[in-house]
Amino acid sequence: VHHMPSKAKPKTKKASPGKGVTKSGGTLSTYVVLALLILLGAVAYACYRSIALDVQPTSEVKTGPAKAREAAEERGKGSEADKRRQLQRNQLQEGRVGDVDVFKCEDEGPGCTQRVTAEACTADEKLSNACCKACYKVACKDTDSSCVQRAQSGECYKNPTDMKAKCCYSCSRDPFDRCSQDPMSRPDIAEGDVEKTFLRAIEEYPQYSPVVHSRDPWVVSFSNLLTDDECDGIIEAVGGKHGEYIKPSTTAKSVKDKNGRIVLTDVPDSIRTSHNAWCQHPGCYNHPTHDKIIARIMDIVNLPQNNAEHMQLLKYGPGEYYKLHHDWIQEQQQALCGPRVFTFFLYLSDVEEGGGTYFPYLNVTVHPKRGSAVWWPHGLDSNPWQKDDRTHHEAQPVIKGTKFAANYWIHGSDFKVAMATGCDGRAGGTRRIWRK
């Protein structure tokens, strides 16, 4: 057996104190250095955050007492604005003007008639305002023979620049009639808007189950516009908790006053045997259900709430009716509010028999169903200032049961301000024909 010679082991040199390190010692030192670096980084970051928090931009949201004060001030501002809006709303509901802007055109002094010229009025807006009537007389003329006809067809707001230059008289408010319309201002319902309004409502409010009974003219019902609680709320709001506001119905009629003027007044009418109440008392127009339903209706017709008259509650007992009639009031055609453009009729109760709304020229009958409504126009789509006789209708006699319903009449312009200023057509008097 041959034995391999063994290799000699190398001698290990001992490290002298202070010179060199072992492998394990090197690893420990590395960890310590890393830990120190991490600690230093954390301290540096904390210092940076401290400085950043101390020096915030001025746009930062304030905290503590300053924030509370600012929030209170903002609430106060909002509260005051809400109060002013509510006050104005209540004043208009009551037929009072309040702080509503009213058309005025006056001369500030007798010197206006002596010193104004057409050139001066045209060049000097301040003079034109100070001497409104005098400037109107000398500077506001029609230079085209077709001005009156064009203005009465709506050209003033359709083509304002050209019309104002050529047809100043026909396109201006009458300074001698505070109730005159502004021909330069487009009404909320003008040519072509009736059709668009109905099409939009049918498309955007399927939740109320619209049913089209006629398209020319439009007659549309909504099968589930109101809940039972809302029906009861409207009856209470308009009629009073105990029905104290419900009185025998009247109709607006044209009569001569003691001065020979034709005015509108409410009188008993043999074609109508129902009872009614108007939402012209605080218990109604401050009632939450009334507010909610009005907002819903005006959303559907896409018009400002001021364009609507006060809601009218109706009560028909057995045998009561309203014979064939139209909701159009001729005296309002040239009034500040313009004519009625829509009726929105709410059915607030079921009726055992009878009580339908009948349109004889369309052969359409809408039967009363609690929570439903029917909606139709008064004027033509091509010209809302021309009455559409096809929407004559009648309330058929109630045979069995009691019919509660509500009328909501809507104008193409602001009715509430017109009524509060005596410019809704009831005061009578003649005025320039601004639309035909």
Q: Give me the residues paired with residue 366 across strands.
A: 357
92, 113 Cβ separation under 8 angstroms: no
pLDDT for 270: 76
pLDDT for 78: 61
Chain Cα centroid distance, residue 409: 15
Chain Cα centroid distance, residue 226: 20
Q: What are phi and psi of 251, to 5 degrees?
A: -130, 140
pLDDT for 373: 99
Q: What domains sit in the chain, N to C, each tagged with a CATH number?
A: 193-420 (2.60.120.620)
Q: Is the peptide bond before 217 cis (omega within 30 degrees of 0)?
A: yes
pLDDT for 402: 98
257, 263 Cβ separation under 8 angstroms: yes
If residue 266 lies in a helix (H) or strand (E), which one and from where to where?
Answer: strand 262-267
pLDDT for 227: 98
CA angle (362 as vertex; 371, 215 as ends), nearest 5: 70
Mean pLDDT by 10 residues, the chain (436 residues): 43 44 51 63 56 43 56 63 67 62 80 85 88 91 95 95 94 89 94 98 98 98 98 97 91 66 65 91 92 97 96 97 95 92 99 98 98 99 97 98 98 92 78 78
Provide the H-helix boundaries in 187-241: 193-204, 228-239
Instruction: Give 125-134's long-range contacts (Cβ < 8 A, gap of 24+).
Output: 131/107, 132/104, 132/105, 132/106, 132/107, 132/175, 133/105, 133/106, 133/107, 133/175, 133/176, 134/107
Cα separation, 51 vs 162, in Å, equals 65
pLDDT for 10: 45
- Least Cα distance to 225 among 408, 356, 416, 357 occurs for 408
pLDDT for 54: 44
